[in-house]
Amino acid sequence: MATKPNTPKGTRDFGPVEMSRRNYIFDTIREVFALYGYRQIETPAMENLSTLMGKYGEEGDKLLFKILNSGDFMKGIDSGLLEGEPGRLAARLCDRGLRYDLTVPFARYVVQHREELQLPFKRFQIQPVWRADRPQKGRYREFYQCDADVVGSDSLLNEVELLQLIDEVFRRLRIRVAIKLNNRKVLAGIAELIGEPDKLIDITVAIDKIDKIGIEKVEEELAARGLGAEAISALRPMLKIDGTINERLRKLGEMLAGSATGNLGVKELQFVVDSTLALGLDATLDLDVSLARGLNYYTGTIIEVKALDTEMGSITGGGRYDNLTGIFGLPGISGVGISFGADRIYDVLGALDLYPAGLGSCTRVLFANFGAESAAVSARLVKALRAAGVSAEVYPDEVKMKKQIGYANNAAVPFFAMIGEDELAAQKVTVKNMATGEQTQIPFDGIVDFFAK
């Protein structure tokens, strides 16, 4: 018992101050989700491995946390298995894993409950996910996702609504953001027009890095991935489109005129941009032809949000997928969704000092403990304060005042109330403002008015 116990690698405890900040973020997102008509669901932490495996690529399968079958997990395991692949043994030992994201469990939910669900279904979900990734700065093995999706509707009004929703969340959090848009069909049109339709994935994987490594390195990578010089030089002007978002859309439309798919992508973007700008938003709206975000997944609009006033990758992302539930045998359900990155938003708010004052404190007034009689009277006043909605406490132990005041300071309690012998006699409370040091005497029967006003 000598060594201090610890949280497992890559996981964290959240103390009271961190929790108040995290709740500020989650409550803001939750309120906006509800205001926009999204309805909350929760799914279990564990899913059958058959639900999870093969949905995140080979790399993703390796990052699943698997749960050991209990009881008779030894049954039928022979030593021959040990000489095989680790994966084969794991398959015998484990039937379940921890969820890796909220999207696959949501797809499973829609298929499992399809008889009870009325489409379109607008759901939100705020829950932790687990990935057996190598932990590093800002990357954890347990973290929360905050997802909103609409399934069962292919109307672009859903995209417009999600962009407004993103704008509203960051307006409330006071984070200035740029929302970048793209469309999978635009990427397909580009690949088609430069004569490399089969290299769509190579092209997008490479150009997705343009912000990080610059256009020259991207072109080197394209060459390494087998694109001809002609294709690369045809691609160049498409990546260099500039101007306002409407100018960019016009130029892109001209460049993609020869591709029906590309054209449709531009038209979809134009509708989303026009409708969103007509309604007005605080965020900047950008067109970013290099934006891909897990291309194999999205089939239409692609969305990514970055904070303007601090460096911090993507803090929200999403897009349209045309076949979410197809993996579970229910084809033809289109959806569009977004996911807020709570951990990064947490860091952005900290870096920009945007947390509201007083978040960390919960109790407004702590009553000192001067012994049994004082404590009993204090408990009566505290009961009246709580009934009026004022968070209040009596210090439980009769110890030195210094320790009691230290407790109030530590918990950021703004007022310290004292009922000593003199106060008991006068039926008054001495209330100390912890910030200014100012002391006021309040009659017992005036204490609720003093704090509840």
CA distance 120 to 276: 21
CA distance 375 to 81: 67
Question: In angstroms, how far is CA 53 from the centroid of its own chain?
Answer: 23
Residue 38 has, within 13 A of its CA and on its CB side, a CA count of 25
Using the rule CB under 8 A, give the single segment among 70-78, 206-214, 250-258, 337-345 that binds its own copies. Answer: 70-78
Q: Which is nearer to its own copies, 270 or 275 (CB)?
A: 275
Contact with its own copies (CB under 8 A) among 46, 249, 303, 349: 46
Work out whether 53 is an interface residue with its own copies (CB under 8 A). Answer: no
Q: Which is nearer to its own copies, 188 or 408 (CB)?
A: 408
Q: Which is nearer to its own copies, 213 or 376 (CB)?
A: 376
Structure tokens at 422: 């003199």
Residue 164: name the closest of 275, 76, 14, 247 by CA.
Answer: 275
Smallest gap from residue 145 Cβ to its own copies (A): 14
Work out whether 59 is an interface residue with its own copies (CB under 8 A). Answer: no
Chain residues 291-310 in contact with its own copies, contact rule CB under 8 A: none
What region, left, alpha or beta, does residue 301 occupy, with left being phi > 0 and alpha being psi -120 to 50 degrees? beta
Chain residues 226-265 in contact with its own copies, contact rule CB under 8 A: none
Contact with its own copies (CB under 8 A) among 174, 217, 240, 383: 383
Contact with its own copies (CB under 8 A) among 94, 201, 215, 234: 94
CB 367 within 8 A of CB 404: no
CB 273 within 8 A of CB 246: yes
CA distance 49 to 310: 39
Using the rule CB under 8 A, give the single segment among 178-186, 313-321, 325-333, 427-435 that binds its own copies. Answer: 325-333
Using the rule CB under 8 A, give the single segment among 41-49, 250-258, 351-359, 439-447 that binds its own copies. Answer: 41-49
Contact with its own copies (CB under 8 A) among 26, 53, 60, 90: 90
Smallest gap from residue 225 Cβ to its own copies (A): 29
CA 446-452-453 angle, 5° bins: 90
Contact with its own copies (CB under 8 A) among 58, 59, 74, 137: 74
CA distance 123 to 452: 38
Work out whether 27 is an interface residue with its own copies (CB under 8 A). Answer: no
Structure tokens at 77: 């395991």
Chain residues 396-425 in contact with its own copies, contact rule CB under 8 A: 396-398, 406-407, 410-411
Work out whether 380 is an interface residue with its own copies (CB under 8 A). Answer: yes
Structure tokens at 390: 């004022």
Q: Which is nearer to its own copies, 70 or 436 (CB)?
A: 70
Q: Which is nearer to its own copies, 113 or 240 (CB)?
A: 113
Residue type at 202 in one-letter notation = D
CB 429 within 8 A of CB 444: yes
Q: Which is nearer to its own copies, 127 or 314 (CB)?
A: 127
